[in-house]
Amino acid sequence: MMKQFIQMIWQKSLFSLMLLALMTLDGHSAYQIPDKTEVLVKFGKSFKNELDPENISVLNWNIYKGDKLTFKPWFLTLAAGKDILIIQEMYLTTAIKTISATTNKLHFMATSFIDGDGIRTGVMTSAKVPAKRIEFQVSEKTEPVVNTPKVGLVTEYPIKGTDKTLLVVNIHAINFVENKWFYKQIDQLFAKIDEHAGPVIFSGDFNTWNKNRYYMLDQYCRLRGFLQATFLPDTRMTFNGNPLDHVIYSPDLEVQESKVHGNVDGSDHKPMTVKFRYIGN
């Protein structure tokens, strides 16, 4: 386990963690963890009233804080026409906020932390339609060295022709900690899912970098009859053969198309797009 832990830190950039450590004083994070009343940020505008049950198109992508030069053109290309964007490592600079605003969607961001420049990092879910409910879940455990939590975002959207709503759960899972803290975060989000009587998409960067994490996530899904979108070819980011990013969905949704965009170099993770059809009542 320790060997895997060290290897994973190296893969995710040991050098970056060392730089972050220099910004940490006496074990306290150099970053600001927002009060619960300050976690959520809303911007943009919805342009439709309801999702089309025959065509619900989704983009999931860990965008690496939009740090790569090729991020903007790829993001705009992939986001065009999508009903829902599920984004991890959102970094709310003025530039990225402006880019996001051009996608003609209503954006909700849940903040993990705020850096020394006052810029928020977290997850963002965006949709063409208004959200009926917005909640967030902050991980109980923080990442080592930087002492920052991970966050999940829960949003709920109306579907045309039914009183059922689509629940979208966006996760960036806790990473460099014991597996028990990963299980705890997943369990808390599934508790919110279990309260919902309708279709569900649970998507994001799950950081399933070891077999135990991957197996536990699979068990959570099997217990509920949930499925995982499959991709051919499957060029998702992996560690030791384990994919880190997943699109999980309830059985009242049917996958029409799914793709990993392996040619995209706008992040260290590869974007995934999935088109769903709602087949429930």
The whole-number average pLDDT for the span 1-16 is 46
The whole-number average pLDDT for the span 191-195 is 98
The pLDDT of residue 214 is 97
Which stretch of DSSP H or E encloses residue 273?
strand 272-278
Measure the N-to-C terminal CA separation of the chain; round to a whole number of Å.
45
The answer to whether domain 2-278 has CATH 1.10.238.10 is no
The pLDDT of residue 29 is 55
Q: What is the pLDDT of residues 133-185, one digit of tens each?
A: 999 999 999 999 999 999 999 999 999 999 999 999 999 999 999 999 999 99
**What residue spans define the domains of the chain?**
2-278
The pLDDT of residue 159 is 98
The whole-number average pLDDT for the span 241-257 is 98
Q: What is the dihedral of CA 44, 50, 54, 56, to 10 degrees?
A: 30
The whole-number average pLDDT for the span 86-112 is 97
Which of 20-24, 31-35, 100-104, 210-214 shows the lowest mean pLDDT across its residues?
Answer: 20-24
- Residues 108 and 250: their CA atoms lie apart, in Å, by 23
Q: What is the pLDDT of residues 71-84, one digit of tens each?
A: 999 999 999 999 99
Mean model confidence pLDDT for the chain: 92
- Residues 24 and 281: their CA atoms lie apart, in Å, by 52
Closest of 186, 247, 267, 199 to residue 60, by C-alpha: 247
DSSP 240-258: TTEE-EEEEE-TTEEEEEE
